[in-house]
Amino acid sequence: MKKQSKNRPSIVLIGSGNMGTQLSKRLFQKGQNVVQVFSRKAEKAEKLGKAIKADFTNDLKKIRVDADLYILAVHDDFIGSVAKKMSKIIHPNSLVTHTSGSTPSTVIEPHFKRFGVFYPLQTFNIHKKPAWSQIPVCLHASDESDLNFLKKIANAISQKVYFLNDEQRGIAHVAAVFANNFSNHVFAIAQEILEKEDLPFDLVRPLILETANKIRNANPNAMQTGPAVRGDDETIQRHLEYLKKDKDLKAIYQLLTQHIKKEKS
Ligand SMILES: NC(=O)c1ccc[n+]([C@@H]2O[C@H](COP(=O)([O-])OP(=O)(O)OC[C@H]3O[C@@H](n4cnc5c(N)ncnc54)[C@H](OP(=O)(O)O)[C@@H]3O)[C@@H](O)[C@H]2O)c1
């Protein structure tokens, strides 16, 4: 089996989108040895490579063949096909991982014997520096020594490291979609409702921040407020009357109201 290099294992980052950019910058900042970054777009590869003093390429055939770790931060649906292309180029015993919450690690298995997952559970944007030290990094590997190897790298970038298998990580991802994607969409609905009536989104910004703040150390169910949990049905009827012109919003409101009432009972 190919051995990891001694002190500073070499890492190649494939993909320079939101995840690839933020992860490679953090690895670099924490003294990890990111030797190369890949993007299909030459400009993006160069920009990121220069930012973290790493080699860069937009040609998959030119990726380093002997790195200790390859991290694929590409769209979920392309992880398997990119791994397949890489298998024609790099060392067959290479350790190849991806950063996806819901994609099983086994999409890499047909192409590499040593595979795993390096999934930081957070929402990333290329322009916003994340608070890495508290981000849960969820790891999985096909082999115990590779898992320990990934743990050392994860420990360098975050204080919160978890071992989750494919099934557990998939479930965590469902929860993450509710916690982030759906709540953010609900914020967007609030903005739409206000701005349609020429009212500023700033009216609810402090409320949104306080909602997230309150659950720092508390159970979200215990923090629930509003007409549904209080059972203020006349208020609910007034809201539904206002929403009657938008069937979708009315349905979302009704479903969430019903669900809050059910949780309360
Ligand atoms: N962003 C998040 O909040 C977040 C959080 C947790 C996990 N993840 C995971 O991180 C991974 C990347 O997500 P992202 O948010 O960084 O996406 P993104 O910003 O859209 O970037 C996707 C990257 O995938 C590359 N790509 C797309 N199709 C490709 C192909 N056919 N061959 C090679 N490269 C391809 C793009 O390459 P080019 O640079 O060549 O265009 C780009 O660098 C996904 O697995 C996602 O589930 C993301």
* CATH code where residue 30 lies: 3.40.50.720
Q: Is residue 3 part of a domain?
A: no
Q: Domain residues for 160?
A: 10-164
**Strands in the chain per DSSP E:** 10-14, 33-38, 55-57, 69-72, 95-98, 114-120, 137-141, 161-163
Of the chain, the percentage scoring pLDDT greater than 90 comes to 95
**In the prediction, which pLDDT does 1 show?**
47
Q: Are residues 142 and 237 in the same domain?
A: no
Q: Is residue 2 part of a domain?
A: no
pLDDT digits (tens, 9 = 90+) for 28-40: 999 999 999 999 9
**Ligand 1 centroid – CA 21 distance (Å):** 10
pLDDT digits (tens, 9 = 90+) for 99-120: 999 999 999 999 999 999 999 9
Q: Are residues 119 and 208 in the same domain?
A: no
Q: Which residues pair with residue 55 across a beta bridge?
A: 36
pLDDT digits (tens, 9 = 90+) for 198-217: 999 999 999 999 999 999 98
Domain boundary, last residue among 164, 192, 210:
164
Q: Is residue 5 part of a domain?
A: no
Are 88 and 108 a contacting pair, CB within 8 Å? Answer: no
Q: Is residue 37 part of a domain?
A: yes
Q: Is residue 76 part of a domain?
A: yes
Q: What average pLDDT does range 49-69 have in this prediction? A: 97
Q: Are residues 156 and 205 in the same domain?
A: no
Q: How many domains does the chain have?
A: 2
Q: List residues near ligand 1 (CB under 6 A).
A: 15-20, 39-41, 44, 73-76, 78, 82, 98-101, 123-124
Q: Are residues 151 and 190 in the same domain?
A: no
The pTM (predicted TM-score) of the whole model is 0.93
